Structure 1
Amino acid sequence: MHYDFDEIISREETNSLSFEGWKSYIFKGRDNINFQYKDKDYIRMWVADMDFATPAPVLDAIRERLDRKILGYTQLFDPKYFATLESWFRRHYDVVIKKKEVVLSPGVVPALKHLVPLIMQADESVLICTPSYAPFKVAGDFNKRRVLTSKLVNTNGDYRMDFADIEQKISNPDNKISLFILCNPHNPTGRVWSKEELARLGQICVEHGVWLISDEIHCDLLRAGKQFQSMVNVLPGYKKLITCTAPSKTFNLAGNLVSHIFIRDSILRAKWLERHNDIQNPLALAAAQAAYRDCDEWLVQLRGYLDENFALVEQFLQTHLPAAKFKVPEATYLAWIDFSAYLNATDSFSEPAYFFAKEAGVLLEGGNMFVDNGDGFVRLNIACPRSVLQEGLERILQALVKQEI
């Protein structure tokens, strides 16, 4: 079956965070701000969901479940659901999952907020690498735990973890670091960490008895020729490993509210289940199972389309904005672009999201929204029809050219 990723789908009047909720999210506390563009005329390239139709097999599964006519109290009893999960991870990543380790969460972000107080004392600290997906820091802040950072080293767009810095911070008793939160593949840079890098990080955590949460939600969104290594295989026996996965990013199911959290430690898992063994949405379970069972071909075509979108971004920048620094990410559908050579005005450099919303009618996220180590960068969601991407790039170009005049 051929899937049409060029289709323009209106998200207006669907309670979409991307479409209706952008002001309150990007400009929290200033959502009464007025820009020159009408709301419907913005190019939305910010929050990490896709403007592509959810796969047809998933929509069919939801309709089939609706045809059963009763949407009563639901929990996960069907062994075929777990068999589907086991098949997916074995086929794609040679990962053997254990049914007993799986707990469900509405999302990875809520899971992080729930896990932090279960595994950390009040005086202990979290360590994250920056630039970082902001909810990693929020998980600590929300629970009143100190959050420490280690800056990723950027060499011409090739990001690396600074293991000497990580080990120094973890080994320092004054820091009281008991948790490291890893993003693999990394958001926002798109790095897919190698087995050797993961092993080095894992070794540090094991030697110091630090919990390791590995957020692997972007693992399916690889560029052609790239391979993903899960921490499940890198640290096969470490009890303090928690792995977070979900079909949400891969199959455009962010509103579906099903994530799979793999908790090895039986005591921690029991604590989770005491507090969070919730009723499930029957439509969400049907959708997640269909995604992992029936959508391999959809994912193949999606990856190909994203590869071509990234090639367009790379060529456009080389041609029109050659001083911009950009490297096609190894995974995700997020372009991490260094526009610092062009963002010379105070507001455009310190708050790129405001500048591009005001001057270009393009909604994106600035590097200042990724904790730290992101000055001059923007994160651009390119999971949209190519015509939309082209228009967004053209608007960005015109805003930057106008700024220089």
Structure 2
Amino acid sequence: MVDFNKKIDRSKNDSRKWAGRKKYFGREDLLPMWVADMDIEAPDVVVEALKNKADQKIFGYTMENERYIGSLVNWVKKRHGSKLSFERIAHSPTVVTSLNLLIKILTNEGDQIMIQSPTYPQFVKQIESNGRKVVINELVEKENGYEMDFIDFEEKVKNSVVFILCNPHNPAGRVWTREESSKIAEICVKYGVKIISDEIHSDLILDGKHISIASLGREVENLVYTCLSATKTFNLAGIQSSFVVFPTRKEKENFVEELSLIGVHEPNSFCMDMVISAYNHGEEWLEKLLDHLRGNIEFAVDYIEKNIPQIRVKKPEATYLLWLDLRKFGLDDEKLKERLVEDGGLALTMGGGFMGSGFARMNIACPRYMLEDGLERLKKAFG
């Protein structure tokens, strides 16, 4: 029996979300709803796989096995209806690792890379740390959520070497439609712009259907480098496991060779068995998780609309992250953070890092009692 509302204690978990409160917010008594992992136990089948591996009592050097990549191939076909080529998939420790290395491989210093704001902060960090130029296609706020400005998109992407797509979008929670994705594909094919597609949240669809841009035809598939992972889906961020799907086998081999130069090309002793178990046996758990997340989002949005109407929030189509619009309070990010911390005792991720000043990101992937506490603290800060 899965109980997503059971009492949890991460005090001995070495969790950045909980252990990092003093370092990042100056206080240890805050309720942390900032880092994008879940305050929910991983599936029992994954825990059992970890225990079975530990029982072997030898943790030497590892070598990637076919079942690891195969579990992803089978999962994507079953969940999303897409067929992946086994030979074109590489293991990578994290999506951020992949992003950094793909930028190095696909571009040269001084090249332009386009992203869409608001944006996941690591996109900017990885581009700039590699000496490339950030170009921004700003998403447009509409009544029902963010939309793309395709006129601006085309004008800017045609002078870029790479476009980084976030689908589903973090922090806005959009699931890009087939029509939107097809338009992106059409423009990028027209100008030969490569696409790094971050699809780490693709299993956490709450409303709609995930369309992987690489699935929209061979022309665009030849340009796309898709980043996937079981870690967001099954709350396994600490195990260092992700995948990249490449246009060609040769590009996959080049990527693995680059990873080997820094010694991170093989999965660690535990992650393969855990991911295989998650993908092969975790679907029922995921369906129940999605129901829990939908209920939490419904509860949170309703609470905010009734009790803190100055805060604007829309239900995300995917992810477990609420993008809170705090601009009506007329405060900069530092003052907003101060109100949250000092008055509310609440730790959220402020929007400035996402190129979204005046916003804050709130993680609702937690037991209901914790969400209720967080919302009461939010009301205390701004109600």
Q: In 2, Cα distance between the equivalents of 1:280 and 1:132?
A: 28
Structure 2 partner of 1:19: 18
Q: In 2, Cα distance between the equivalents of 1:295 and 1:151?
A: 37
1:157 deviates by 4.3
Give the AA of the match of 2:11: E
1:239-281 Cα deviation digits (max 9, x unpaired): 2210000011110000010001111134432321212142321
Q: Which consecutive aligned stretches of 4+ in structure 1 deviate over 4 angstroms post-superposition?
A: none
SS in 2 for 1:336: strand
Pick the aligned partner of 2:160 from 177, 184, 202: 177
Of all paired residues, the percent bearing the same amino acid is 34
Structure 1 partner of 2:194: 211
SS in 2 for 1:219: coil
Structure 2 partner of 1:9: 8
1:282 deviates by 1.9
1:354 deviates by 3.7
Give the AA of the match of 1:132: T
Structure 1 partner of 2:281: 294
Q: In 2, Cα distance between the equivalents of 1:88 and 1:53?
A: 21
Would you say 1:139 and 2:122 are equivalent positions? no
User: Structure 1: which 5+ runs fail to align?
Assistant: 28-32
Pick the aligned partner of 2:253 from 246, 270, 285: 270
Structure 2 partner of 1:191: 174
Structure 1 partner of 2:48: 60
Would you say 1:303 and 2:302 are equivalent positions? no
Structure 1 contact 351–366 (Cα < 8 Å) conserved? no
Q: In 2, Cα distance between the equivalents of 1:43 and 1:229?
A: 35
Q: In 2, Cα distance between the equivalents of 1:4 and 1:17?
A: 24
Structure 1 partner of 2:238: 255
Pick the aligned partner of 1:167 from 149, 154, 159: 154
Structure 1 partner of 2:98: 111
1:23 deviates by 4.6
Q: In 2, Cα distance between the equivalents of 1:369 and 1:381?
A: 16
Computed over aligned residues only, the root mean square deviation of the Cα atoms, in angstroms, reads: 1.5
1:358 deviates by 2.3
Pick the aligned partner of 1:201 from 184, 188, 193: 184
Q: In 2, Cα distance between the equivalents of 1:316 and 1:190?
A: 19
Structure 1 contact 118–268 (Cα < 8 Å) conserved? no
Aligned pairs (5 A) from 1:218-367: 218-223=201-206, 225-237=207-219, 238-277=221-260, 278-341=265-328, 343-344=329-330, 346-347=331-332, 349-350=333-334, 352-367=336-351
Structure 2 contact 77–83 (Cα < 8 Å) conserved? yes
1:104-135 Cα deviation digits (max 9, x unpaired): 11110111011101100112111000000010
Structure 1 contact 336–379 (Cα < 8 Å) conserved? yes
Q: In 1, Cα distance between the equivalents of 2:278 and 2:151?
A: 40
1:45-97 Cα deviation digits (max 9, x unpaired): 000000000110000011111122211110112x3333322211111111101
SS in 1 for 2:270: helix
SS in 2 for 1:312: helix
Give the AA of the match of 2:340: F
User: Structure 2: which 5+ runs fail to align?
Assistant: none
Q: How many residues align?
A: 378
Structure 2 contact 21–30 (Cα < 8 Å) conserved? no
Would you say 1:43 and 2:31 are equivalent positions? yes
1:179-229 Cα deviation digits (max 9, x unpaired): 000000000010000011001011111111111011110011111x52111
Q: In 2, Cα distance between the equivalents of 1:23 and 1:102?
A: 40
Would you say 1:130 and 2:112 are equivalent positions? no
User: TM-score normalised to the size of structure 2?
Assistant: 0.95
1:170 deviates by 2.1
1:311-336 Cα deviation digits (max 9, x unpaired): 11111012111232111100000001
Give the AA of the match of 1:353: K
Give the AA of the match of 1:129: Q
Give the AA of the match of 1:302: L
Structure 2 partner of 1:30: none
SS in 2 for 1:281: coil
Give the AA of the match of 1:105: S
